[in-house]
């Protein structure tokens, strides 16, 4: 939860790899889900994660 315009949706889209490449990129760090670094997995693996998760 947060204020309108705080970047919640943009952050979520970035984590899921759904932002256009021009918007930004990760310089350092990691984003982990169940022990997997989402920045290092294949597009196929990411599609599987996107399809299996629900709010």
Residue 36, strand partner residues: 33
**Reduced to 3 DSSP states, what percent helix, strand and coil does the chain have, rounded to the nearest 5?**
40, 5, 55
pLDDT at residue 15 in the model: 85
Q: Please state, in angstroms and rounded to a whole number, the distance separating the CA atoms of residues 7 and 29.
A: 19
User: Tokens 């984590």 label which residue?
Assistant: 15
Query: pLDDT tens-digit profile of 1-55?
Result: 788 888 899 888 888 888 887 777 778 899 899 999 998 999 999 888 888 755 5
Tokens read off for 25: 């990129």
pLDDT for 54: 53
């Amino acid at each position: 939860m947060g204020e309108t315009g705080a970047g919640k949706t943009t952050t979520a889209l970035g984590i899921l790899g759904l932002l256009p490449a021009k918007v930004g990129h990760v310089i350092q760090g990691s984003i982990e889900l169940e022990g997997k670094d989402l920045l290092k997995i294949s597009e196929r693996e990411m599609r599987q994660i996107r399809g299996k998760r629900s709010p």
